[in-house]
């Protein structure tokens, strides 16, 4: 079974590449982030033509997440149960479902913007709510994973250079502690380091030739419980999909399971 996560940075802009990628890779379940569309604008028909059922949490121009599965879909939960509001509303940042033999969450963790910004405090509250929401799924025999754009680099090795991030979000002790709390609750980072190259980044800014210079970050993660981690047979970052005209600024992260 092949499962992937991909921040597409607008599913409308990325749709031709997304459909071609799904066909060429044989992905069974894709967790999608930053759809940047409303639920009504989501390309359901195009994905259904490829055999995928879809669950979407999206409200408009920003944020938005989805799950696309060709191995069945049940027990869909749209949103983060108990999640905090930001400016009076819960942003569309989580959707979960049982796809075949596994339970999966697609998440787009808040960016945080700046350390002294309200969005940073909201980010930390969101992490707390996520930990509480997934607590029951981390135990038991069913493979379970939370996949997506976590907007946190777990360690200094997951950033091309720490100097530009001094005093900035994505690398602060509080954010990394929030990730560590998920691991301590029974989830493991199932994408090993190193892979086939020294630093398997997943995100490169569009500016200043960041991708050709490999000035990236590893912020798209797959956190699985023990049964999920045990079933992993391969994992990789598809850097090729970050290349060329019309690419997202994130690359897909792919995990193969024997389930």
Binding residues for Mg(2+): 7, 34, 149, 151, 249-250
Interacting residues of 183 by C-beta distance below 8 A, sequence separation 6+? 189, 223
Q: What is the dihedral of CA 203, 249, 57, 181, to 10 degrees?
A: 10
Active site residue 161: no
Residues annotated in a binding site = 7, 34, 149, 151, 249-250
250 a catalytic residue? yes
Active site residue 149: yes
Catalytic residue among 108, 120, 201, 223: 108
Tokens of 22: 């799904």
Catalytic residue among 52, 122, 158, 250: 250
Residue 154 to residue 219: CA distance in whole angstroms: 8
- Calculated CA dihedral for residues 10, 11, 12, 18, nearest 10 degrees: 130
Of 18, 12, 4, 19, give the one whose Cα is nearest residue 49.
Answer: 19
Query: What is the four-CA torsion angle of 63, 32, 84, 221, rounded to 10 degrees?
Result: -120
Kindly calculate the radius of gyration of the chain based on its CA atoms and give it in whole angstroms: 17
Active-site residue identified among 149, 170, 203, 220: 149
Token pair belonging to 37: 């569309």
Residue numbers annotated as active site:
108, 149, 250
């Amino acid at each position: 079974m092949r499962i992937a996560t991909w921040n597409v940075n607008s599913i409308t802009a990325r749709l031709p590449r997304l459909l071609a990628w799904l066909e060429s890779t044989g992905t069974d379940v894709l967790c999608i982030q930053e759809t940047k569309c409303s639920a009504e604008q989501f390309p359901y028909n195009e994905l259904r033509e490829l055999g995928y059922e879809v669950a979407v949490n999206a409200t408009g121009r920003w944020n938005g997440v989805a799950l696309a599965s060709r191995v069945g879909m049940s027990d869909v939960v749209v949103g983060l149960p108990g999640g905090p509001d930001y400016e009076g509303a819960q942003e569309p940042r989580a959707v979960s479902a049982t796809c075949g033999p596994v339970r999966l969450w697609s998440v787009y963790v808040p960016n945080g913007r700046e350390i002294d910004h309200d969005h940073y405090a909201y980010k930390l509250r969101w992490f707390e709510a996520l930990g509480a929401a997934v607590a029951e799924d981390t135990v038991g025999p069913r493979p379970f994973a939370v996949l997506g754009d976590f907007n946190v680099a777990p360690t200094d090795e997951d950033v091309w250079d720490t100097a530009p991030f001094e005093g900035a979000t994505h690398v602060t002790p509080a954010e990394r502690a929030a990730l560590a709390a998920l691991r301590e609750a029974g989830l493991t980072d199932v994408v090993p380091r190193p892979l086939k190259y020294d630093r398997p980044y997943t995100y490169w800014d569009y500016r200043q030739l960041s991708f050709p210079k490999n000035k990236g970050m590893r912020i798209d993660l797959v956190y699985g419980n023990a049964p999920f981690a045990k079933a992993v047979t391969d994992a990789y970052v598809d850097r090729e999909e970050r290349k060329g005209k019309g690419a997202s600024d994130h690359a897909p992260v792919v995990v193969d399971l024997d389930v």
